[in-house]
Amino acid sequence: MTHSAPPLSTTADQATADPATGRPAGTAQAVVLLLSSCLAVLGAVLLAPVLPRIQDAFAGIPGVTTLTPMVLTVPALVIGLTATFAGRVVDRLGRKRLLVGALVVYAVVGTAPLWLPSLHLIVASRVLVGLTEAAIMTCCTTLLADYFHGPERERYFGLQTVYTTVAATIFFAVGGLLGSWGWRTPFWLYAISLPLAFVAARVIWQPPQHRTREKLPSLPWRDLLAPVCVSLFGGLVFYVLIVELSYVLDGIGVTSTATIGMASAVGSLATAVAAYLFPRVARFGPAVTVPAAFALCGIGILGLALAQSVPVAVLGAVVAGLGNGLMLPALLTWALGNLTFAQRGRGTGIWTSAIFIGQFACPLAILVLADATGLPTALLVVAVAALLLALAVRLLRPTRPTAVPARTS
Which domains can be identified in the chain, with CATH numbers?
27-203 (1.20.1250.20), 221-396 (1.20.1250.20)
- What does the pLDDT look like over 171-203, one tens digit per residue? 867 877 787 788 898 899 999 999 999 999 999
Q: Which of 4-13, 78-87, 95-104 has the lowest mean pLDDT?
A: 4-13
Contact 223, 338 (CB under 8 A): yes
Contact partners, residue 332, CB within 8 Å, separation at least 6: 141, 157, 351
Contact 99, 139 (CB under 8 A): yes
In Å, how far are 85, 130, 279, 295, 387 from 394, measured between CA atoms? 31, 34, 19, 10, 11
Other residues' Cβ atoms within 10 Å of the Cβ of residue 25: 24
- Give the pLDDT confidence score for residue 257 in this predicted structure: 62
Q: Cα–Cα distance between 280 and 407 in angstroms, integer?
A: 30
Better pLDDT: 106 or 153:
106
Bridge partners, 405 (sequence order): 11
- Give the pLDDT confidence score for residue 107 in this predicted structure: 96
Q: Cα–Cα distance between 137 and 142 in angstroms, integer?
A: 8
Q: At what angle do helices 64-93 and 341-373 cross, to 10 degrees?
A: 160
